[in-house]
Amino acid sequence: MVYPNGFKGLDNINLNISKGEFVAIIGLSGAGKSTLIRAVNGLVPYTDGALTVGETLVDPRNKSKLRKLRSKVGMIFQQFNNVGRISVLNNVLIGRSAVTPTWRSLIGWYGAEDKEVAFQSLERVGIVDKAYNRASALSGGQQQRVAIARVLAQDPEVILADEPVASLDPPTARKVLGDLRRIQQDLGITCIVNMHHLDLARDYADRIIGMRAGKVVFDGPTEEATDAVIEEVYQRSLTAEDIATVNVPVSLEDLSEDSDEGTLEGAAASAEPDRKP
Amino acid sequence: MTHGYKISAALVGAVLVAALCFLLTYSPAAESSDVFSRMMLGASISAAVVAAALAVYGLAYMATGKQRAEAQERIDDGKDGYSPDRLDMRPVKPAKFWYNMALISVAVLFFASAAGTGMTLSAFLEMPARIWDFSTQMAAGVFQNPADEEVRGVWDSAFEAMLESVAIAWVGTIVGALFSLPCGILAARNMTPLAIYIPMRFILSVIRAVPEIVFAVAIFIPLMGVGPAHMGGAMAGAFALGISSIGTLSKLISEAIEGVDAGPLEASRASGASHLQLIRWAVLPQVLPEVLAIWLYRFEVNIRASAILGALGAGGIGRLISPPNGLFGRSPYPWDEIGITLFVIIAITIVVDQISGFVRHRVIHGKTVRQKKRRKNNGADPKAAAVPV
Amino acid sequence: MTAVAERSSSTAAPAPVKRPEPPKPPLQNYLLLVGVAAAAFAFFWWTREDTSVLFLPLGFTTLWAPQWPLIGFLVMLAVVAFCWFTRTGPMAAFGGLSVVVLSYWAGSNIYFLDRVTEVPSRLTTGNTRDQLAGYFSPDWGYLLFSNVAGTSRPIWGEWLITLCMAVVATIVGCFIGLLLAMLASPVSSFNKGTSQTMKAINSVVRSIPDVAWALLFAAFIGSTAYGFGALAAVLALIMFNIGIVAKLLGESIDAVNLGPLEAADAAGANLIQRDRVAVLPAVMPSFVSYSLYVFELNIRASAALGVVGVAGIGGELSRQIGRMSQGYDNVGAILWALVLVVLLVDLLSMWIRRKLL
């Protein structure tokens, strides 16, 4: 995965995430967490390797195929990315875009079933009473719930969350993350979450992936993520030397992330994380 | 007021408007002015259409009325083992009655106005053929051999007149800029007392209300003269542009000053600065880049405005496209010359725009012209991301 | 570093450090500026006769030469010297110098000093003073009860048609402008090619003045018995509005928050859906605000369009101006009414803006 300016965002990533898992990706800023997550739904086109979601190969060049894929892969953002000036319900209905005919979106006349799905998602996150409020009038936690509802309205198989709680205060962060965890378990959705907060990752995730400088440096169930391991992910990176290495171009072989549902045999490549000395 | 009442009120309103407008088509006012009678007819017809639509909607609403009443009763009584299910927890969609009424009124106004202008839309039928005809003539004018003596004369006079327009715009901008800074300060609420602020604002809005061409014709042509530059018309145009520039420039500058960071002002006041010192050392350094950008923007606007002024004898390229020279004076209309003139206007305007846009960008953002490119790969910028937060 | 720390810790009162001089701008840049001034002087000296010509690739075009080149040169040098002694940066000094050169050229190009010194004599002789005085004694009766000369159409009907044209042109022009702005902004457009093309078209549309549009459309449509009728004016105003709205709104769209767009993308929306649900709501306040602004502009522009003989109050205004000495009080009435109408529209749009946004 190489950026146009020659910077390598991800390097030699070999991951296999199975259906229904709640995976937390931790690491410093600039470690490639966001890039990894955005590569999954093609918001950041990867340059080398192969990435499949279910049976579908993510092909950044094929726009219509990508759109079809994105309808099944929801995404939550740090800044919520709600449209502030329209109602909460309309924000959630953005999630129905992929299954709504363009002319219906154009005149804002969504079908009854779309609205039903939107209301159900709002009920799931518990802010149905705010359905007709302006999105910008809500608090941070409520806004992130709107974003979750928007994603749920897509009826997704995978939810990607890019720092979903980084702009929330700690109690709200726990509540939102708890909601996400509950919904994910109820519906059996695969969930990949970027996080800064180690304690939150430990409390909510099934599996933790540590990243540094575009590489996976730890991958294992939450119980294995001991302090020593985490220190390896975090502490050493804090020195000036480690930061400098981020800009040094390193060789890139391959990026592949298989999110096979249930079956793991697609993973000929090892699920073993690449540990760098 | 429930939804049903609102619908009926709107229906009655629409019917009343339709009836009133229809009656007004027989009024003496309509008899004297065909514009008014056409407008009223248009308004009454469109209001009638709105009334019909509202009637259909109202009937549909009434048809579902019984069901709604039953459901409401069920909720109110809480009888028959009723327990609120999740459908009842959902909020009711708020009716945007006034918003919709405003939209409908705008639509009625639009149709009434369209009727009032008395446009004959059948003219559109023959338009494409004419557009093609005249455009090809204009293009032929632009692409004919410029070495030809006559053609070169046309190009020369077009360039000369356009340069005169640029000169007019520049002088107008300079005049406007000189006056706009003090006027802008006097019209900024955080700089002046109310007693100066209100008359200043009023004067500025009066200036802004008058089109520059009117300033030119009504005031400056008598004062300075009419015709091309050496007769004084150009000067009249420049002053007209200058005066109208004062209006807009002062308003924009006063808004910029009102948006200034109040901290330095407070600090200067606290250290005993006089009002002028405050303006010089606390206000001007903050707003100067913005003010320069506003001046340059106005220069771009003035270039466009100066291109018209000549149509009324106030100098510049407008005299080459003005009716006395072409449309009425000579027949057939010299389309090749008009083509060349328009080409020169477009070319010079775009060139000046580009230069002024570059300078504006430079003034506001400093040397980093390439900022845009870097912002594009936002979340992925390696240098920004490498710094631990 | 360490030495400084030691010293400040050992002595109670630190020794006076050499104070920095204000930075001096580089001398060679200033010499360059003097060179620029000299070049401008040479050019002006060479073209000081009105008959002098400047060779342009297309032919020989006369550039009206500035008057008194020596004085101009001295002023330029004075500006450079002033900037040098106030230690202004060379870029800013260059800006100041170019302003002086340009103003000098433009000012003498349009005979600035001759005309300004002539103003007092024009005020005392001829009927200029009567004319200006006429504006302050407007003939309101004419405005309310008269007809357009030679017809049975009342003057107030001309006002009505002006407003009608402004309404129609604003609504149509703003919607087309919205569409073009969407197509022209790289944020909301299909691809880079489309947005570049639309940007180019927009700047061409914008650079043709409204009077020129009116003339073009008048010719495209064909004239009626009374000048050109309303259609040419409406079409001209529409083109005028498209240019303004597409430019201003395009800038708003460029500056839109990209987050919601990314969210819509991630939800699988196509481009049109994304523009509708994420871009349009974000720019709606600016759109409404620009539309109201454009409405105000239209009323003023229709006064200017009158000069080419289109319908509305502008036509009547230019007819009255054409009557010269007899029309002053009528012209005054129209002008004052125009100011009033524009002020009222201004108030109205301020009210709507407050209500809506």
Please tell me if residue A243 touches chain B, with a CB cutoff of 8 Å: yes
Q: Work out the number of other CB atoms within 10 angstroms of the CB of residue C267.
A: 29
Would you say C208 and C244 are in contact if contact means Cβ atoms under 8 Å apart? no
Residue B3 CA to residue B5 CA, distance in Å, equals: 5
Residues A229, A230, A234, A239, CA torsion sign = negative
Provide the pLDDT for residue C290: 92
DSSP annotation string for A90-158: HHHHGGGGGGS-HHHHHHT---HHHHHHHHHHHHHHT-GGGTTSBGGGS-HHHHHHHHHHHHHHT--SE
Q: Answer yes or no: do B213 and C220 touch at CB < 8 A.
A: no
CA distances from A209 to A13, A192, A230, B3 (A): 11, 10, 10, 56
C129: in domain: no
Q: C274 near B279, Cβ under 8 Å?
A: no
Q: In the prediction, which pLDDT does C1 show?
A: 43
User: CB contact, 8 Å: A87 with chain C?
Assistant: no
For the cut 90, the answer to whether the pLDDT of residue C176 exceeds it is yes
Contact C356, C288 (CB under 8 A): yes
Higher pLDDT, A55 or A140: A140
* Helix (H) or strand (E) run with residue B148 in it: none
Determine contact: A70 vs chain C, CB below 8 A: yes
Pair C195, C69 in one domain = no
Number of domains in chain A: 1
Please state, in angstroms and rounded to a whole number, the distance separating the CA atoms of residues A246 and A26: 16
Asked whether the beta carbons of residue A34 and residue B380 sit closer than 8 angstroms, the reply is yes
* Backbone φ, ψ for residue C135 (5° rounding): -65, -25
CB contact under 8 Å between B167 and C109, yes or no, is: yes
CATH code assigned at C199: 1.10.3720.10
What's the pLDDT at C226?
46
For chain C, what is the domain count? 2
- Run of H or E residues at C291: helix C280-305
Helical (H) or strand (E) element with C314:
helix C313-322
pLDDT for C52 equals 46
3-state secondary structure of B91: coil
Which residues span the domain enclosing A215? 13-81+156-259
Q: What is the pLDDT of residue A2?
A: 57
Residue A247: Cβ within 10 Å count: 13
Residue carrying structure tokens 């720019």: C283
Radius of gyration (C-alpha) of chain B in whole angstroms:
31
The predicted pLDDT at position C106 comes to 85
Sort out which chain B residues have CB atoms less than 8 A from C132's CB and list them. Answer: 219, 222
Please report all neighbours of B, defined by 3+ CB atom pairs within 8 A: A, C
Chain C positions touching B113 (Cβ under 8 A) are 163-165, 167-168
> Residue A223's domain is classified under what CATH number?
3.40.50.300
Q: Tell me: the pLDDT tens digits for C184-224? A: 999 999 889 999 999 999 999 999 888 888 888 887 876 55
A5 inside domain:
no
The Cα B214–Cα B309 span in angstroms is 10
When comparing pLDDT for A63 and A89, which is higher? A89
Q: Does C60 contact B156 at a Cβ distance shorter than 8 Å?
A: yes
Co-location of C163 and C208 in the same domain: yes
Contact C264 A94 (CB under 8 A): yes
Domain with CATH 1.10.3720.10 in chain B: 143-369
pLDDT at A264 over 90: no
Residue C166 and residue C312 in contact, taking contact as beta carbons nearer than 8 Å:
no
| Chain A CA closest to residue C278 | A83
Q: Which residues of C touch A41 (CB under 8 A)?
A: 266
Rounded Cα distance between B181 and B187, Å, is 10
In the prediction, which pLDDT does C14 show? 66
And the tokens for C118?
């002539």
Each residue's pLDDT, cut to its tens digit, for chain B (389 residues) gives 577 888 889 999 999 999 999 999 998 888 888 889 999 999 999 999 999 999 999 898 888 877 777 777 766 665 555 555 666 678 888 878 888 899 999 999 999 999 988 877 777 777 888 888 888 988 888 888 777 778 888 888 888 888 889 999 999 999 999 999 999 999 988 888 899 999 998 899 888 888 887 788 888 888 888 877 777 788 899 999 999 999 999 999 998 998 888 888 888 888 888 888 888 888 888 888 889 989 999 999 999 888 888 877 788 888 887 654 444 444 556 788 888 889 999 999 999 999 998 888 888 877 654 444 444 444 333 333 333 32
How many whole angstroms from its chain centre is CA B383? 42
Instruction: Summarize the confidence of residues C52-78 as an average pLDDT.
Output: 66
Record: contact A3-B91, CB cut-off 8 A: no
Residues C254 and C168 in one domain: yes
CA distances from B340 to B14, B109, B142, B143, B195 (A): 53, 40, 5, 9, 53
**Looking at CA atoms only, how far is residue A264 from chain B in angstroms?**
31
Say what the pLDDT of residue B377 is.
42
Placement of tokens 């005169």 in the chain: B164
Identify any residues that bridge with A2 across adjacent strands, giving them in sequence order.
Answer: A8
A159 vs A183, A222, A251, A271, C268, CA distance in Å? 11, 19, 30, 21, 13
8 A C-beta contact, residue A193 and residue A161: yes
B9-15: long-range contacts, CB 8 A cutoff, minimum separation 24 = B10/B54, B10/B97, B10/B101, B11/B51, B11/B54, B11/B55, B11/B58, B14/B47, B14/B48, B14/B50, B14/B51, B14/B54, B15/B47, B15/B48, B15/B51
H helices within chain B, ranges in order? Answer: 3-24, 28-32, 34-63, 65-77, 86-89, 97-117, 123-143, 149-186, 194-209, 212-215, 221-224, 233-258, 262-270, 275-278, 284-309, 318-321, 335-365, 371-376, 382-386
Q: Residues for chain A: how many in total?
A: 277
Q: Which residues of A touch B89 (CB under 8 A)?
A: 123, 128-129
Q: Is B364 helix (H, G, I), strand (E, B) or coil?
A: helix
Q: What is the pLDDT of residues C236-274, one digit of tens each?
A: 999 999 999 999 999 899 989 999 999 999 998 889 999
Which residues does chain B have within 8 Å of residue C206's beta carbon, measured at their own beta carbons? 304
Q: Is B2 helix (H, G, I), strand (E, B) or coil?
A: coil
pLDDT attached to residue C61: 56
Which residue in C266, C273, C281 is closest to A75 by CB distance? C266
Cα(B285)–Cα(B277) distance, rounded to whole angstroms?
12
Based on its alpha-carbon atoms, the radius of gyration of chain A, rounded to whole angstroms, reads 19
Q: Which H or E run includes A52?
A: strand A50-53
Check: CB of residue B14 under 8 Å from CB of residue B47. yes
Q: Which of residues 121-180 of C touch B (CB under 8 A)?
A: 122-123, 128, 131-132, 135, 152-154, 156-158, 160-161, 163-165, 167-168, 171
**Which of C268, C274, C276 minimises the CB distance to A71?**
C268
Average pLDDT over residues C302-313: 77
| Helix pair angle (C69-85, C90-109), 10° resolution | 160
Contact A94 C277 (CB under 8 A): yes
Nearest-CA distance B374 → chain A (Å): 10
Closest CA to C88 of C36, C25, C33: C25
**Position A211 in a domain:** yes
Q: Yes or no: say if A39 and C266 are a contact pair by the CB < 8 Å rule.
A: no
pLDDT one-digit tens code per residue, C23-48: 777 888 888 888 988 888 887 777 66
Q: Is C268 on the interface with A (CB under 8 A)?
A: yes
User: Cβ contacts (< 8 Å) between A3 and chain B: which residues?
Assistant: 377, 380, 382
Peptide bond into B332 cis (omega under 30): yes
Helix (H, G, I), strand (E, B) or coil at A87: strand
Would you state the pLDDT for residue A277?
29
CA distance A15 to A218: 11
**Which of B110, B126, B234 faces C167 most closely, judged by CB atoms?**
B110
Are C255 and C331 part of one and the same domain?
Answer: yes
Contact (CB<8Å) B219/C132: yes
Asked if C309 and C315 touch (Cβ cutoff 8 Å), the reply is: yes
Closest C-chain CA to A105: C273
Cα separation, B314 vs B167, in Å, equals 13
Sequence letter at residue B158? A
* pLDDT at residue C275, rounded to an integer: 93
Reading the block at residue C52, the tokens are: 């002098």
- Check: CB of residue A144 under 8 Å from CB of residue A165: yes
Check CB contact under 8 Å for A30 and B91.
no
pLDDT at C92 over 70: yes
pLDDT more than 90, % of chain A = 25
Q: Does A73 touch chain C (CB under 8 A)?
A: yes
- Cβ distance of C209 and B304 shorter than 8 Å: yes
Strands (E), chain C: 54-56, 59-61
Average pLDDT over residues C276-284: 93
Contacts of B387 in chain A (CB under 8 A): 29-30, 243
pLDDT at position A271 is: 31
Would you call B278 helix, strand, or coil by DSSP?
helix
Q: Which domain holds residue C92?
A: 22-114
Q: Is residue A216 part of a domain?
A: yes
Which is it for strands A73-76 and A56-57: parallel, antiparallel or unpaired? unpaired
Q: Would you state the CATH architecture of domain B143-369?
A: Orthogonal Bundle (1.10)
CA angle (C202, C353, C292) in 5-degree steps: 35
Residue A91 belongs to a domain: no
pLDDT at A228 over 80: no
Position A121 in a domain: no
Residues of C in contact with A74 (CB under 8 A): 266-267
In whole angstroms, give the CA distance from residue A164 to residue A79: 8
In this complex, the residue of C263, C276, C281 whose CB is nearest that of residue A77 is C263
